[in-house]
Amino acid sequence: MVCIPSNVVYIDFAKAFDSVTHPKLLLKLKAYGIGGSVLTWLKNFLCGRSFRVKVGNALSSSHFVLSGVPQGSILGPLLFLLYVNDLPKSLLSCCKLYADDVKIYRPITDPQFDYSKCFVLHLNFSAECPLHLCVFDLPAKEVMRNLGVYVSSDLNWHNHCVEVSRRAAQVANYILRAVQYSSVESYRKAFVAYCRPILEYCTQVWSPSVKRDIEMIERVQRRFTKMAFRKAFRGPFQPNYEQRLRIFDLKPLWYRRTQFDLHLCFKIVKGFSGIPFKSIFSFTKFASRSRFHPLQIERKTTNRTDVLNSIAFRVVPIWNSLSYDVVMAGNLSCFRRRLEQCDLTTIPAACWL
């Protein structure tokens, strides 16, 4: 596998939802085939709005809203997405859009940019050549927060592990202080609802491979179960971590991250995901003659540790070791049920390397 140096430019619209021009939005809606009474209704929904500002007992005069979509409404974000939906057509390079966050695209004429939130991230040890957005010099950053995940220029996930561990530990402490001397089940439900999602958001992207990061993430659940057990039973007996997991009916976080990897792999292999199979995987030439299952994925090689830890590499040997019945499930729900019945700790150690 060839690792190509890349530059990722992070651009943010200034007052994105407030800068949508009503006449241009209505023209785009008409171009999408929306017309008649529906377009008239949307026009009435957008135009003719007014606002006033109240400070203390003083009330300003009314002013008409000339641009923007109503925030807090269901239609507002949808109309904004339709407004910027044609953005990729004007680009020579690919781009990724999520609401008002855009990665890698050329300047366009209408929206203004919030230059204080525009940065460049140099990946794969690319030469740090200066980049410009209009007349603004884009500053380079070592770490960028991308939809809740902290991405570093060397594709190391230590910074993200530190951040999510800190946030999850804070939430765990809040739970332990708020829930006093309750049952094991109450502590478990609170941890699963409020703390564990912080540690498991997007793990398919950043699942750590370094021992210190794995232990850092696991330490949050380890400490929580220890303190919660002490509060629930208030006795001298203190079971070890493995025993506490059985008492709280929890799994190690590293084990659950492996399950999440397999869930995504199943969706990609079966075509249930928007990620094309051939973009990251390929079947082995002799998959049909395999003694395991006919959906064996080729195990690629690389000398880059950051690439080796990506899901395209780390999940392959574990996927190939699954039984025929599990892999050949008809849908994701069935696959999850069958995977729950498997003990992934019995998979040969070589598959985890």
- Here the tokens at position 40 are 């008239």
Q: What is the structure's pLDDT at 346?
A: 77
Scan for tokens 């971590």, then name that residue.
241
Q: What is the structure's pLDDT at 110?
A: 47
Residues contacting 106, CB < 8 A, separation 6+: 90, 91, 92, 93
- Terminal C-alpha separation, the chain: 18
Q: What are phi and psi of 292, to 5 degrees?
A: -100, -80
Q: How far apart are CA 337 and CA 353, in angstroms?
A: 26
* Angle at CA of residue 84, ends 80 and 89, nearest 5°: 160
* Angle at CA of residue 274, ends 326 and 31, nearest 5°: 155
- Here the tokens at position 240 are 């070890």
Q: Quick one: how many helices (H) and strands (E) in the chain?
A: 16, 12
The average pLDDT across 142-158 equals 82
E strands present in the chain: 6-12, 50-51, 54-55, 58-59, 63-64, 96-98, 101-103, 119-123, 132-133, 136-137, 143-146, 149-152
Residue 305 predicted with pLDDT over 80: no
Q: Which residues of 21-32 are buried (b: 16+ CB within 10 A; e: fewer)?
A: ebeebbebbeee
Q: What is the structure's pLDDT at 77?
A: 79
Report the share of the chain in percent with pLDDT over 90.
Answer: 34
Q: What is the structure's pLDDT at 173?
A: 95
- The neighbour count for residue 108, using CB atoms within 10 Å, is 13
Q: What is the structure's pLDDT at 211?
A: 92
Q: How far apart are CA 22 and CA 26, in angstroms?
A: 6
Confidence grade of residue 151 (pLDDT, cut at 50, 70, 90):
confident
Residue 352 predicted with pLDDT over 90: no
- Here the tokens at position 110 are 């209408």
Q: What are phi and psi of 126, to 5 degrees?
A: -70, 155
Across the chain, mean pLDDT equals 81
- Here the tokens at position 282 are 């390929």
Burial category of 120 from C-beta neighbours within 10 Å (exposed 0-12, middle 13-18, buried 19 and up): buried
Residues contacting 334, CB < 8 A, separation 6+: none
Report the share of the chain in percent with pLDDT over 70.
Answer: 79
The tens digit of pLDDT for each residue in 103-121 reads 653 444 445 666 666 777 7
Residue 9 predicted with pLDDT over 70: no
The tens digit of pLDDT for each residue in 165-214 reads 999 999 999 999 988 878 899 999 999 999 999 999 999 999 998 899 99
Q: How far apart are CA 122 and CA 141, in angstroms?
A: 8
